Amino acid sequence: MDKKQMRSRQKTTIKKVLHYIRKYWFYLFLSLLLAVVTVASTLYIPVLTGYAVDDIVAKGRVDFASLFQILKSMAVVIALTALAQWIMNVCNNKITYYVVRDIREEAFRKIEILPLKYVDAHQTGEIVSRVIADADQFSDGLLMGFTQFFTGVVTILGTLLFMLSIHVGITLVVVVVTPLSLFVAAFIAKKTFTMFKLQSETRGEQTALIDEMIGNQKVVQAFSQEEKVMERFDEINRRLQTCSLRAIFFSSITNPATRFVNGLVYTGVGIVGAFTAMRGGISVGQLACFLSYANQYTKPFNEISGVVTELQNALACAARLFELIEEEPQIPEPENAVALKEVKGHVELNQVGFSYVPDKKLIEDLSLDVAPGQRVAIVGPTGCGKTTVINLLMRFYDVDTGSIRVEGQDIRDVTRKSLRENYGMVLQETWLKAGTIRENIIMGKPDATDEEIREAAMATHAHSFIKRLPDGYDTYIGEDGGSLSQGQKQLLCITRVMLCLPPMLILDEATSSIDTRTELKIQEAFARLMKGKTSFIVAHRLSTIREADMILVMKDGKIIEQGNHESLLAKGGFYAKLYQSQFVHS
């Protein structure tokens, strides 16, 4: 990315941030108003100090009455400054954390409607890093910007006005040297944005690796991949160290560089002011006031230079967040989308074509007509498109060509919610949330009674292990089932579907993690509960689909054979060879 593109990216990001801030204009207005009050009262203190010095500078004469009044005024001004600063900080905190909250909520809402192809193409940890770590970094930079940037700018302008009111000539010395400080800060700021952006991206890559390794620790250890994982982690860590050190180096030299320029300003004011006072141009108290102003005038440049560095980091993190927020969502539902009602289970696939990668075809010209209540089994070698058909039926992906219809309606013309409510889905991979057993079972039917829950659990033979748990159905389990076995987790997922009794079922290797004896019992329960319901069964173990009304044999995205178990065996084709490979040679 060249410099022009970088500047354009920064401006775009700033506009987007301001769009979110605009919602909280009242807090912003109050913060700016209080910044003016704070700075004005702070700058008035040196004026009072100058008056106090003039009251005691004459030999043998101290005006105690005037001095006492000045001290009282200083106490009132200091109290006012403290109160205004406290309220201003409250406003700044509210703006910062409200804005970050809004951005996080929008990012999370976008994740909920992102197409699965985006989630499949990005590491989970990298997405998490954007929503959590980048948002935190952005909030830190934004907060510093509000607390120091506005106050610093107002302080500079206010100080100049106060100094001009005292002596124009000495003020010109300050103004002439100031551009040096601005030049140094601007030069370093350009360097820091690139480094902080690289730091943010590398940190996301590291988070993704850590998340991946923690989630698959057993596999890593089982295949003795610990050293390779450590090497990969060390390589990313070294890159993070390099870009972090460079970012910190450029940000750390800002303050010393501007302080050096500020020292020149203070020295210039001191020398010119001293000669002016000696000639009677200003009083000693006014010189003391001017030196105080010179110090206060240069201090904001140090703060602003530090803020600019932090803002570079914040903008780099914000840019990554906005990239996520602005990703293309899944194809929106049409305005006239209807809700499926009175679904009996008639499903049609008409010349369906689909591919995950545009130039690599997966499913071509797939047609199928499933009558209500039919049990359809889909078998075939790995990668033939079995699970892809399920993804298309559930509209996790949209077909490229052709159409899928339920009860004669194209599923692209109905609401996703109503479509998925009419499917009960049990996958090979289980998913359980942190909560009680009961909360996990009633996910699809929140108003289910205890009796209904128990009947569904007894039908799937989950009741026997649930009642042995410490608190039965009220036993709390951690994320993804906690200490439950894989088979027990699968039983709970099946029970969840049994409770809803939808008109259509999808079972993708649903009993793969269950022992043979329990599997036979579950098959009996499925046979009883699937009666009259359209069912799609994806299976590798052909023993589980013998009773299917229709078996589709897929290869390279096409149906090459179709029929029931006996007729396909009689053909002696691909299905017969698959069956024989599992049972004859086992």
Which of 292, 325, 358 is a domain's end point? Answer: 325
Q: Which two tokens stand for residue 439?
A: 């909360």
> Would you give the DSSP letter of residue 328?
P
Same domain, 33 and 98: yes
Same domain, 128 and 269: yes
Residue 56 lies in a domain: yes
C-alpha to C-alpha distance for 76 and 487, rounded to whole angstroms: 73
C-alpha to C-alpha distance for 479 and 44, rounded to whole angstroms: 59
Residue 76 lies in a domain: yes
> Would you give the DSSP letter of residue 86?
H
Same domain, 495 and 575: yes
Same domain, 283 and 187: yes
Same domain, 315 and 455: no
Residue 3 lies in a domain: no
The answer to whether 252 and 195 are in contact (CB under 8 A) is: no
Same domain, 178 and 135: yes
Q: Which are the contacts of 329, defined by CB distance < 8 A and separation ≥ 6?
A: 110, 113, 114, 115
Q: Which two tokens stand for residue 445?
A: 């039917």
User: Domain containing 532: what range?
Assistant: 347-583
Same domain, 411 and 522: yes
Same domain, 42 and 101: yes
Q: Which are the contacts of 76, defined by CB distance < 8 A and separation ≥ 6?
A: none
Strand blocks (E) in 1-96: none
Same domain, 519 and 549: yes
CATH of the domain at 182: 1.20.1560.10
Residue 332 lies in a domain: no
pLDDT in tens, the chain (586 residues): 556 666 677 778 778 888 888 888 888 888 888 888 888 887 777 777 777 776 676 555 666 777 788 788 888 888 988 998 899 888 888 888 888 888 888 888 888 888 777 777 777 777 887 888 788 878 777 777 767 777 777 777 877 787 777 777 777 777 777 667 667 766 766 667 677 778 878 887 888 888 778 777 777 777 778 888 888 889 988 888 888 888 778 777 766 777 777 777 777 777 777 777 777 777 777 777 777 777 777 677 666 666 776 777 787 788 888 888 888 877 777 778 888 888 888 889 898 888 887 777 788 888 888 888 888 888 887 777 788 888 888 888 888 888 999 988 888 888 888 888 888 888 777 788 888 889 888 888 888 888 988 988 888 888 888 888 888 889 888 777 777 887 788 888 888 888 888 888 888 776 665 667 766 766 666 666 677 788 888 876 666 677 788 888 888 777 888 888 888 888 888 888 877 776 654 4
Residue 518 lies in a domain: yes
Q: What is the mean pLDDT of the chain?
A: 79
CATH of the domain at 395: 3.40.50.300
What does the angle CA 377 – CA 382 – CA 387 come to, to the nearest 5 degrees? 50
Domain count, the chain: 2
Same domain, 358 and 302: no
Which of 295, 325, 355 is a domain's end point? Answer: 325
Same domain, 308 and 447: no
Q: Which residues pair with 579 in a beta bridge?
A: none
Residue among 578, 444, 428 nearest 510 (CA): 428
Q: What is the pLDDT of residues 368-402, one digit of tens each?
A: 888 888 888 888 877 777 888 888 888 888 888 88
Same domain, 466 and 399: yes
Q: Which helix (H) or strand (E) holds 401?
A: strand 401-406
> Would you give the DSSP letter of residue 357?
B
Which of 325, 355, 387 is a domain's end point? Answer: 325
Q: Which helix (H) or strand (E) holds 535?
A: strand 534-538
Residue 13's SS3 state is: helix
Residue 463 lies in a domain: yes
